[in-house]
Structure 1
Amino acid sequence: MGATAEKAEPTEPLRLNAADAIREAIISGDFGPNQRLVEAELSQQFDTSRAAVRNALVQLATEGLVERIQNRGARVRAVSLDEAIEITEVRMVLEGLCAAKAAEHATEADRERLREIGSLMQAAVATGDVLGYSDLNRQLHARILSVSGQTTACAVLERLHGQNVRHQFKLAMHPGRPNVSLPQHLAVIEAVCSGDAEAAEAAMRTHLRSVIETLPEVDKDRTRRAPAGA
């Protein structure tokens, strides 16, 4: 009995480690849309058992990151334009709520950090540092969610971010987008830092409504650039 218990204990940590590793690979773009996820290859890549990988793929399927097809295995789930828009519409509601709560809960240290991010975003736009701006964009949204203290909303948003990250990255790379989104981000920062919950929610909704309006244009550009037969 003791030997059996000792063997069973590592199962849960292995499963969580495999899920975290595969999730990060999907979110970072290392695994692309529709890419096959072969248990044997993932087991070797992440130095874990095939059982742990299998459990991880089941978990990631419930999160909407992986698609399991009968008799064909698993693959990274592709998110359509329509679904990306729906996801962003949900984000608009939840992140608007979080911005309002952040305005109510922000400390002086929080306000200093938000303003610092805003200054860095301005510098990134001025120098044409698109990748740097994209990273600061993520930092800003994450910081506002953290300050809000809305754990349930944050958990939902984290899952949605994983599903929609590839569309978000394409949006960040879209020509001229940083110049459009910068004043929107600065408006969110100013409202949160001034403690105006209503203005913070409105500014965040305005920003994400702009994202929704731009997504079809970004998707059309992606389709136009795709090689024939892709």
Structure 2
Amino acid sequence: MGHLKASNLVTARERLRDQVAHALRAALISGELRPGHVYSAPTLAEDFGISATPVREAMLDLAREGLVEPLRNKGFRVTEVNEHDLDQYTEIRTLIEVPMVGRITRTASQADLEALRPIAEEIVRAAHDHDLTGYLEADRRFHLSLLALSGNDRLVETVGDLRKRSRLYGLTALDRRGELIPSAEEHLELVDLMLSGDDEAAQQCMTRHLGHVRSLWAKGEAPSHS
């Protein structure tokens, strides 16, 4: 699997576990590790070309995030997210992020809002470059950096957890069809609306964006997970 190459890892021992966890998350999101399938730490370790211990530790980190579940003497099963789960995650994010965008538009400084633009541009660039890992990382940083302007650390943690649990499946297929680019460009639109001080329009944009993301989830849940 492309994300599970030892070349993607730094050699420093103290960072190995985190690097493995990062690569596994990327493989989960891209669909290389498939929902409902069971993977053993020794088998994955062979793909990495390392011992099973850091892989097992990384998988336990993912289990704490709800991305996989441990199976005694078998390995780890990739958790499946059904339509009902996705609807609930979207509802919670909408209840949190939409009004918060309005509040931040009214209270944040122009400099703080403008600082979001380079991240939004990074998202668009990654979508055009078919850089899925870069796309997802920049998207995560944008949304959590935006919410951090509220000053509520617990809120940021909550949304971060929701994002992990409602990850995109089959992102490669969406990328091939060019369906990530419109969603990416909505981040720039949101920044412009917030800078203009139009809190109502910014909230409408965030509502539309979360609905757009939800539709991508639905498409990513295709049975083939291609």
TM-score, normalised on structure 2? 0.65
Q: What residue is the counterpart of 2:109 in the other structure? A: 107
CA distance, structure 1, for counterparts of residue 102 and residue 22 of structure 2:
29
Q: AA paired with 2:135?
A: S
Larger Rg: 1
Q: Please give the per-residue CA displacement for 1:93-143, whole angstroms capped at 9, x wherever unaligned.
A: 222244234324433322322344455666777xx4343883554443233
Unpaired runs of 5+ in structure 1? 1-13
| 1:141 pairs with one of 105, 129, 143 | 143
Q: What residue is the counterpart of 2:24 in the other structure? A: 26
CA distance, structure 1, for counterparts of residue 51 and residue 145 of structure 2:
33
Q: AA paired with 1:107?
A: S
CA distance, structure 1, for counterparts of residue 191 and residue 181 of structure 2:
16
Q: AA paired with 1:38?
A: A
Q: Deviation at 1:67?
A: 0.7
CA distance, structure 2, for counterparts of residue 87 and residue 171 of structure 1:
22
Q: Please give the per-residue CA displacement for 1:168-191, whole angstroms capped at 9, x wherever unaligned.
A: 835851624245335533332123
Q: Deviation at 1:37?
A: 3.5
| 1:38 pairs with one of 25, 38, 41 | 41
Q: What residue is the counterpart of 1:3 in the other structure? A: none
Q: Please give the per-residue CA displacement for 1:10-64, whole angstroms capped at 9, x wherever unaligned.
A: xxxx99984x45542332217713341427976xx698995x8767655543421
Query: CA 1:118 to 1:103, structure 2 compared with 1: closer, same or farther past 3 Å?
Result: same
Q: Aligned-pair RMSD on alpha carbons?
A: 4.2
| 1:74 pairs with one of 61, 65, 76 | 76
Q: Deviation at 1:167?
A: 2.8
Q: What residue is the counterpart of 2:90 in the other structure? A: 88
- Whose helix fraction is larger, Structure 1's or Structure 2's? 1
